[in-house]
Amino acid sequence: MCAPVTPTLIWILVVLVAIGLYLSWTAGRLDRLHARIDAARAALDAQLLRRASVAQELATSGVLDPAASIVLYEAAHAARQAEEEQREVAESELSQALRAVFGEAQQVEAVREAPGGDAAAHELTEAVRRVPMARRFHNDAVGAARRLREHRKVRWFRLAGHAPFPMAFEMDDEPPTALVERAA
C-alpha cells in the first residue's frame, strides 16, 4: 500500500536535505562576513585611537603654538571620549582640526625640526593615511553583509540570528594635505 509513497518520500527528503545544506552554507557565509566586520571594526578602532593619541601627544608636547595646541587637544580628547553615537561626529571634527593645524607645509616642517618631532610627524602621517583605509575596508565588509542579509532566504529563515544589522562608519577622514603630500 505504501510502495508508491516511498520514492516520493525519498525525493522529498533529498530535496529537504539539499535545501538544508544550502541554508547552512549561506549561514556559514554570513557568519564569516560578520566575523570580517568585527575584525575590520577592531582595526578601524585601533587606527582611530592611534590617530587621536598621536594628535593628543603633539598637542601637549609644546611644539605647536598655544592656539593650535588647544584646538587639537580639544578635538583629540573629544574623539577619544566620544560615546558610540557621537563617535562619527567627534572623529570627523578631529579630521577637521588636523587639517586646520597641519594645513601648511611650514607647520609640518616645524614639528619635524623639534626634538623627537620627526618620529611624531611620521606616526601622525601613518595614522591619517590608515584611517581612511581601515574605514573603507570596514564599510566594504558592511556592504557585503547587508547585500546578503537583504536576500529573501536570509530574512525568511532568520539566518542572521540575533546579530545586529551592520552599520557603515561614516566620517570625514580627509587627511591634511601637507602631511600626506610630503610622504607621497
Partner 1 sequence: MRIGIVCPYSWDVPGGVQFHIRDLAEYFIRLGHEVSVLAPADDDTPLPPYVVSAGRAVPVPYNGSVARLNFGFLSAARVRRWLHDGRFDVVHIHEPTSPSLGLLTCWAASGPIVATFHTSNPRSRAMIAAYSILQAALEKISARIAVSEYARRTLVEHLGGDAVVIPNGVDVDFFAEAEPKPEWQGDTIGFIGRIDEPRKGLPVLMKALPRILAERPQTRLLVAGRGDEEEAVESLPAELRSRVEFLGMVSDEDKARFLRSVDLYVAPNTGGESFGIILVEAMSAGAPVLASDLDAFAQVLDQGAAGELFANEDPQALAAAAVRLLGDPERRAELRERGSAHVRRFDWSTVGADILSVYETVTDGMAAVAAADDDERGQGLRARFGLARD
Using CB under 8 A as the criterion, which residues of the chain lie in contact with partner 1 when the complex forms? 24, 27-29, 31-34, 36, 38-43, 46-47, 126, 129-130, 132-134, 136-137, 139-141, 143-144, 147-148, 159-163, 183-184
User: Is residue 181 within 8 Å of 108, Cβ to Cβ?
Assistant: no
Q: Please, which residue, 11 or 165, has the CB nearer to partner 1? A: 165
* Cβ count near 60 (within 10 Å): 13
Q: How far is the CB of 85 from partner 1 (least distance, A)?
A: 20
Q: How far is the CB of 165 from partner 1 (least distance, A)?
A: 13
Write out the DSSP string of 126-153.
Answer: HHHHHHHHHHHHHHHHHHHHHHHHTSHH
Q: Please, which residue, 97 or 134, has the CB nearer to partner 1? A: 134
Residue 169: closest CA among 135, 140, 141: 135
Q: Please, which residue, 89 or 144, has the CB nearer to partner 1? A: 144
Q: How far is the CB of 138 from partner 1 (least distance, A)?
A: 9
Q: Please, which residue, 20 or 116, has the CB nearer to partner 1? A: 20
Q: Kindly state the DSSP code that residue 62 receives in the 8-state scheme.
A: T
Q: How far is the CB of 145 from partner 1 (least distance, A)?
A: 8
Angle between helices 66-81 and 5-60 (to 10 degrees): 150
